[in-house]
């Protein structure tokens, strides 16, 4: 399997898993569709391929995507690694930009089949536009974090950052590590381990093993294998 094949397989699995949770999200509910979306370069590859096939009129617009949004100071796996080492991560409130996503059309996502995982992972038990905030089931949040870690691991060593920045750099032809790194400032990291409570580990063990099996089919020279440990406070 190619990395894009593996990414698509992860998306398909996640759609099935997410369907077991009761969510209020519906087509046209676009409160969470903002420009505060981070993703891997691999997810950018998938979006770019989709646009080239389905919406070639969008391609010239990528180079002009807004550049005001920035990614958090740490990737998901960097954050997990720091937690596993018992280190604190400073809060980063400045990374949020609630401006509507550039791909939103009349409240509907125009790249829905290939939307980044961060968009797929938004899910609330109540309508955010009615309640003013999301209400997320803890196990759903943990599942999202695990999948996000796996996708980052799959694209380790390549730039990770805000969706607009990744797509803008791809449109400019700056897909190399050095050129994109200067603009994005973060690289996708391998999985250092997982942050799971005992009950979460029991509930998600089968899903986790399925994901690790998929990642195991992508072994490449120079790529690190995923760590499978848990927090010291929660022995694996």
State the DSSP string of 8-41.
HHHHHHHHHHHTTS-----TT--TT-BS--EEEH
Residue 229 lies in a domain: no
Kindly state whether residue 226 falls inside one of the protein's structural domains. no
Question: Would residue 224 count as lying in a domain?
Answer: no
What pLDDT does 33 receive? 84
Q: Is residue 72 part of a domain?
A: yes
Q: Which of 33-37, 93-97, 191-195, 228-232 has maximum average pLDDT?
A: 191-195
Q: Find out whether 171 and 189 touch, Cβ atoms under 8 Å.
A: no
Quick one: pLDDT at residue 215?
95
Residue 232 lies in a domain: no
pLDDT tens figures, 105-138:
998 999 999 999 999 998 766 676 666 666 678 8
What is the structure's pLDDT at 58? 86
CB 50 within 8 A of CB 113: yes
Radius of gyration of the chain (CA): 17
Which of 11-15, 21-25, 109-113, 163-167 comes out lowest in average pLDDT? 21-25
Whole-model pTM: value is 0.87
Select the more confidently predicted residue: 1 or 150: 150
Contact 235, 174 (CB under 8 A): no
Domain hosting residue 130, numbered range: 3-216
Q: Average pLDDT of the chain?
A: 84
* Alpha-carbon torsion, ordered 8, 10, 15, 19, to 10 deg: 170
SS3 of 235, please?
A: coil
The number of CA neighbours under 13 Å toward the Cβ of 82 is: 11
Let me know if residue 123 belongs to a domain: yes
Which of 109-123, 161-175, 217-231 is the least confident region? 217-231
Region class of 132: left (phi > 0), else alpha (psi between -120 and 50), else beta: left
Least-confidence region, from 28-32, 133-137, 177-181, 183-187: 177-181
Token pair, residue 52, equals 């080239």
Q: Is the per-residue pLDDT at 231 higher than 60? A: no
Q: Of 23 and 4, which is predicted with more confidence?
A: 4
Q: Tell me, yes or no, whether 234 lies in a domain.
A: no
Average pLDDT over residues 221-235: 52
Q: Total domain count for the chain?
A: 1
- Answer yes or no: is 231 within a domain: no
Higher pLDDT, 45 or 231: 45
The whole-number pLDDT of residue 211 equals 97
pLDDT at residue 222 is higher than 60: no
């Amino acid at each position: 399997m190619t990395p894009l094949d593996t990414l698509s397989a992860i998306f398909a699995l996640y759609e099935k898993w997410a369907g077991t949770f009761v969510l209020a999200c519906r087509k046209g509910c676009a409160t969470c569709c903002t420009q505060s979306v981070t993703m891997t370069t691999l997810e950018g590859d998938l979006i770019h391929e989709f646009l080239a096939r389905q919406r070639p009129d969008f391609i010239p617009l990528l180079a002009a995507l807004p550049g005001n949004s920035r990614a958090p100071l740490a990737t998901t796996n960097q954050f997990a690694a720091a937690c596993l080492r018992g280190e604190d991560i400073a809060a980063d409130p400045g990374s949020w930009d609630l401006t509507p996503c550039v791909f939103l059309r009349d409240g509907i996502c125009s790249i829905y089949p290939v939307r980044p995982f961060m968009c797929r992972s938004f899910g609330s038990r109540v309508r955010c536009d009615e309640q003013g905030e999301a209400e997320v089931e803890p196990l759903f949040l943990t599942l999202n974090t695990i999948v996000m870690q796996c996708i980052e691991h799959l694209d380790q060593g390549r730039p990770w950052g805000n969706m607009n920045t990744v797509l803008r750099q791809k449109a400019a032809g700056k897909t190399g590590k050095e050129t994109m790194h200067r603009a994005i400032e973060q690289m996708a990291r391998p999985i250092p381990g997982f942050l799971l409570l005992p009950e979460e580990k029991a509930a998600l063990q089968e899903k986790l093993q399925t994901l690790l099996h998929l990642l195991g089919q992508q072994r490449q020279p120079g790529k690190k294998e995923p760590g499978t440990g848990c927090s010291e406070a929660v022995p694996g």
